[in-house]
Amino acid sequence: MIGIDELDVKGRSVFVRSDLNVPLDGDNITDDGRIRASAPTIKKLVERGAKVIVGAHLGRPKGQPNPKYSLAPVARRLGEVLGQEVAFATDVVGESAQATVAGLKEGQVALLENLRFEPGEESKDDAVRGEFADKLASFAELYVGDGFGAVHRKHASVYDLPKRLPHAAGDLVRAEVEVLKRLTENPVRPYVVVLGGAKVSDKIGVIANLLGKVDRLLIGGGMAYTFLKAQGHEVGGSLLQEDQLDQVRGFLAEAAERGVEIVLPVDVVAATHFAADAPHEVVDATAIPADRQGLDIGPRTRELFAAKLADAKTVFWNGPMGVFEFDAFAGGTRAIAEALVKSDAFTVVGGGDSAAAVRRLGLPEDGFSHISTGGGASLEYLEGKKLPGLAALEE
């Protein structure tokens, strides 16, 4: 992949595919991490005299305009981060977009409305996607792929558009790929991976691929209960994927064969029901009462996991240890994050809920070596999958 420093952008229209998919509460952005991460590439192009057209998505509007998913609040925040006005097109390829793009001068920035308002963006039909990509291509002379959180999608703006224009990878995408290469090609050992989140099924591919690469695998979050059940323990009303039990037993056997240490919770915070104010108690992970459900790892597990991270030289963390959105069940996720902040290892937070948790808990982002902007993309890369958006940029 060539980078943007190799493009002659002065006076030229550059389409930048960013990932600005931020959480909103009404019109209020509750976490602007992706906007701040996307700004440096845009700013660099602006400083070099490009006319920058930014394309991005927000949520899942399913190919129809929906005010709930408008990028208007994002345009305002992006302007604040860049320190300059961002012109906002109220449609994607219609009259507003055409007029907004036509009015751009050197060093100015425009943001198109949500790309997913157009059915062609996510269409499974190559011809339909291609037709939409042609319309986007008519706006620009060059393409920069910088939306790492979307590179695992075969979407028009990610996969088809770079085939129609001279293209390069943005600085954010290049940085993400460099980090992932460090995790997959020759990681400094001991290499420890911490996986959490709700479902084992979301992480099957990455576990299967990592068993041949890591020294230690720490399992928390909702997915831990399927592992505990696979070992023969009762998990009460905790989240359980019974259809994954055989798969998990296979992982446990393979890990033992390969000498990979799998570390599971030894105690959990078990609640009467799923609610922020639910009565709860700490119980052994092997003795969860039938009328309780585990919503966080317990204090002994937090100490155990911190100890298992202490000697690590490389750490990848994806997925919270509990329901961190509820203060009563955020302690396990905080403990992992704090252990990584204290660590001298190369520490990578794998985007998604993990990155959101770091910011929600008020931990210093510079306390980690890298916080990814793309949870799904990071996981698919670690699974060994070919990501369409990266493949298109490499051509």
Closest listed residue to residue 170, CA positions, set 46, 85, 350, 256: 46
With 0-12 CB in 10 A as exposed, 13-18 as middle and 19+ as buried, what is 284? middle
Sign for the CA dihedral angle at 159, 165, 169, 171 comes to negative
Q: Residue 226: what residue type?
A: T
Please give the angle made by the CA atoms of 347, 349 and 168, to the nearest 5 degrees.
100
Contact present, 310 and 303 (Cβ < 8 Å) = no
Could you read off the pLDDT of 116-125 as tens digits, one per residue?
999 999 999 9
Rounded CA-CA distance 341/358 in Å is 10
The pair of structure tokens assigned to 170 is 């943005």
Predicted model pTM:
0.89
Q: Which residues are annotated as a binding site?
A: 19-21, 34, 57-60, 116, 153, 203, 294, 325, 351-354
The reported pLDDT for the residue numbered 353 is: 82
Where exactly are the structural domains of the chain? 4-171, 179-383
Task: Give SS3 for 171.
Answer: helix
Going by C-beta distance under 8 Å and a sequence separation of 6 or more, which residues neighbour residue 192? 214, 215, 216, 217, 218, 308, 309, 312, 314, 315, 316, 345
Going by C-beta distance under 8 Å and a sequence separation of 6 or more, which residues neighbour residue 1? 168, 169, 173, 174, 177, 390, 393, 394
The reported pLDDT for the residue numbered 375 is: 83
- Same fold yes or no, 4-171 and 179-383: yes
The pair of structure tokens assigned to 342 is 């204290």
Going by C-beta distance under 8 Å and a sequence separation of 6 or more, which residues neighbour residue 6? 168
First to last CA, the chain: 8
Could you read off the pLDDT of 334-378 as tens digits, one per residue?
999 999 999 999 999 987 788 888 888 888 888 999 999 888 899
The percentage of residues in the chain with a pLDDT greater than 90, rounded to a whole number, is 88
Closest listed residue to residue 219, CA positions, set 272, 271, 261: 261
Contact present, 200 and 175 (Cβ < 8 Å) = no
Rounded CA-CA distance 212/383 in Å is 11
Could you read off the pLDDT of 67-97 as tens digits, one per residue?
999 999 999 999 999 999 999 999 999 999 9
Rounded CA-CA distance 139/290 in Å is 60
Contact present, 379 and 206 (Cβ < 8 Å) = yes
In CATH, the number for domain 179-383 is 3.40.50.1260
- Report the half-sphere exposure of 78 (CA within 13 A, side-chain side): 33
The reported pLDDT for the residue numbered 360 is: 86
Rounded CA-CA distance 31/34 in Å is 8
The reported pLDDT for the residue numbered 359 is: 86
Rounded CA-CA distance 306/239 in Å is 24
Q: Which residues are annotated as a binding site for substrate?
A: 19-21, 34, 57-60, 116, 153
Phi, psi of 106 (to 5 degrees): -55, 135
Which residues make beta-bridge pairs with 144? Answer: 16, 168
Q: Give the distance from CA 44 to its chain's centroid.
A: 23
Rounded CA-CA distance 207/213 in Å is 10
Sign for the CA dihedral angle at 196, 381, 124, 114 comes to positive
Task: Give SS3 for 193.
Answer: strand
Write down the architecture of domain 4-171 according to CATH.
3-Layer(aba) Sandwich (3.40)
Rounded CA-CA distance 315/221 in Å is 17
Q: pLDDT means per 10 residues in the chain (395 residues)? A: 96 98 91 94 98 97 96 98 98 98 98 98 98 98 97 97 98 95 93 93 90 95 96 96 96 95 98 97 96 98 97 95 95 96 94 83 90 88 93 95
Catalytic residues: 34, 199, 352, 376
Could you read off the pLDDT of 166-186 as tens digits, one per residue?
999 999 999 999 999 999 998
Please give the angle made by the CA atoms of 29, 35 and 40, to the nearest 5 degrees.
160
Closest listed residue to residue 313, CA positions, set 187, 216, 219: 187
The reported pLDDT for the residue numbered 361 is: 87
Q: Which residues are annotated as a binding site for ATP?
A: 203, 294, 325, 351-354
Closest listed residue to residue 19, CA positions, set 210, 157, 223: 157
Going by C-beta distance under 8 Å and a sequence separation of 6 or more, which residues neighbour residue 243? 201
Q: Which residues are annotated as a binding site for (2R)-3-phosphoglycerate?
A: 34, 116, 153
Rounded CA-CA distance 8/304 in Å is 53
